[in-house]
Amino acid sequence: MALPLRYNVRSVLIRWRSTLSTIFGIGLVVAVYIMMQSLAVGLEQSSANTGDPRNLLLVRKGSTAETSSQVTREQFKLLQYLPDIEKDEKGDPLISADTLILISLPRKGGQGEANILVRGVSKLGMQLRPQVGLTQGRMFEGGRREVVVSQKLAERFENLGVGESFKTGPHQLQVVGWFDGNKSAFDSEIWMDSDDARSLFDREHYSSVLLRADPTLWGSVTNRVESDKRLSLSVLPETKYYSSQTATATPIRFLGNFLATAMSIGAIFAAMNTMYASVGSRTREVGTLRVLGFRRRAILIGFLLEGAILAFLGGIIGCLLSLPINHFSTGTLNFQTFSEVVFDFNITPHLIFKGLVFAVTVGLIGSLMPAIRASRLPVIASLKSL
């Protein structure tokens, strides 16, 4: 005989008071799970959005990040004359020597200080990064101690408004513009002239070099650079470099899974308690179902589906609770550069789907034992129960 699905669905609706706590409990677990996972997704998406597929990044051999790399001025001069580099409208090679500096700035609201990444770029650095665009003010000029600041960074730290200035060490820097990094890693940076950065912060060398070349010529560029003993540099696509800089997302994803697991145990017991109480109050109804011809297997599956329905409703509530934080800007420590990284919570359809699957799994596990008990109730004893 078919499953008693109509009975189970109506039971969920009629006994709504006894099931609300389970639904909201599972909903909270799903909300926490989605929020934590959206942090990791946001971080990974920030790295994935960074870089241009036509660009190559050059760092010192053995370096895992730009902050630990060094490129000398002599090496940069040699790189400027590589024959395969694309040229701009004026005939200048599309290449930028970048200098990365860590500085400490106060957060807004007196919430302490954090390290910020200052990127010194050459005059064509902006052109090599088309996803970055000015939103207010103007671009910095070399030799004038001027900077442009990520708009998202300016919202989190003191004295970064257009026209304001901030002090780092003995130096005073003037903010002349804001830029939008289009949800990329550049949203966590302050930009200034590369040679100014080297001079002000007493850096003899650059940190990395970014250049543009036709992807069909990447093999030639790589061979020329890596075989030249005067350079001792590694070459990799800019997009690949930033995609690999996702170590910060790993502990956040682990923490999210850990919290979800710990809270799901409580949700499983809550679902189990609700279903046991439901079975106890419906003993006669279960016996009636058996008399009507429903098999034990049908009773078992029916109660499992009832638990899954409750959990699914909780999953929907959890998804709705998490949606308000979608695209909300936040920040954390980048373990590669030890600086503040700014990114958005990113709740994707795939993450919503995972949250719903997670909720249904919790419901099925929590209702398994009560469902087995319901399916094994003796028919005669069930009909005699009050």
Write the pLDDT tens digit of every residue in 315-371: 999 999 999 988 887 777 666 666 777 878 889 999 999 889 988 888 888 777 776
- Position 345 scores a pLDDT of 84
Q: CA-to-CA distance for 264 and 248, rounded, in angstroms? A: 25
Q: Please answer whether residues 137 and 148 qualify as being in contact, where contact means their C-beta atoms are separated by less than 8 angstroms.
A: yes
Q: In what helix (H) or strand (E) does residue 98 lie, and over which residues does it extend?
A: strand 95-106
Write the pLDDT tens digit of every residue in 265-284: 776 777 677 666 666 556 66
Give the residue among 220, 236, 239 at the shortest CA–CA distance from 228. 220
Write the pLDDT tens digit of every residue in 299-331: 777 777 777 888 888 899 999 999 998 888 777
Q: CA-to-CA distance for 175 and 116, rounded, in angstroms? A: 15
- Position 307 scores a pLDDT of 79
Average of per-residue pLDDT across 225-249: 83
Q: CA-to-CA distance for 315 and 363, rounded, in angstroms? A: 10
Confidence of residue 1 (pLDDT cuts 50, 70, 90): very low
- Position 283 scores a pLDDT of 60
In three-state secondary structure terms, 166 is strand
- Position 386 scores a pLDDT of 47
* pLDDT of residue 54 exceeding 90: yes
275-280-281 Cα angle (round to 5):
100
Least confident of 136-145, 166-175, 234-243, 339-348: 339-348
Least confident of 6-15, 119-128, 173-182, 299-308: 6-15
Average of per-residue pLDDT across 249-276: 69
Question: Mean pLDDT of all residues in the chain?
Answer: 82
Matching residue, tokens 């809550």:
270
Could you give the dihedral angle defined by the CA atoms of residues 120, 346, 48 and 340, in that order, rounded to the nearest 10 degrees?
A: 30
* pLDDT of residue 249 exceeding 60: no
Between 17 and 199, the higher pLDDT residue: 199
Burial status of residue 154 (CB atoms within 10 A of its CB: 0-12, 13-18, 19 or more)? buried
Average of per-residue pLDDT across 287-297: 66
- Position 281 scores a pLDDT of 58
Average of per-residue pLDDT across 145-154: 93
- Position 235 scores a pLDDT of 92
Contacts of 261 (CB under 8 A, 6+ apart): none
> Which backbone phi and psi does 83 adopt, to 5 degrees?
-70, -20
Specify the DSSP class assigned to residue 182.
Answer: S
Average of per-residue pLDDT across 101-125: 89
- Position 271 scores a pLDDT of 67
Between 52 and 249, the higher pLDDT residue: 52
Residues in the chain: 386
Strand ranges for 110-219 from DSSP E: 113-121, 133-137, 146-150, 165-168, 171-180, 189-193, 208-212
Q: What Cα–Cα distance (Å) separates residue 346 from each residue in 37, 45, 224, 253? A: 9, 8, 41, 13
Between 340 and 129, the higher pLDDT residue: 129
Q: Please answer whether residues 71 and 97 qualify as being in contact, where contact means their C-beta atoms are separated by less than 8 angstroms.
A: yes
* pLDDT of residue 248 exceeding 80: no
> Which backbone phi and psi does 42 adopt, to 5 degrees?
-65, -40
- Position 21 scores a pLDDT of 75
String of DSSP letters for 322-375: HGGGTT-EEEEEETTTTEEEEEE----HHHHHHHHHHHHHHHHHHHHHHHHHHH
Least confident of 72-76, 95-99, 287-291, 368-372: 287-291
The alpha helices in the chain, defined as continuous H runs, are 5-14, 16-48, 73-79, 151-154, 194-200, 218-227, 238-244, 249-281, 283-291, 296-322, 349-375, 379-384
- Position 189 scores a pLDDT of 92
Average of per-residue pLDDT across 191-212: 92
* pLDDT of residue 209 exceeding 90: yes
- Position 352 scores a pLDDT of 93
* pLDDT of residue 66 exceeding 60: yes
- Position 377 scores a pLDDT of 64
CA-atom Rg of the chain in angstroms:
30
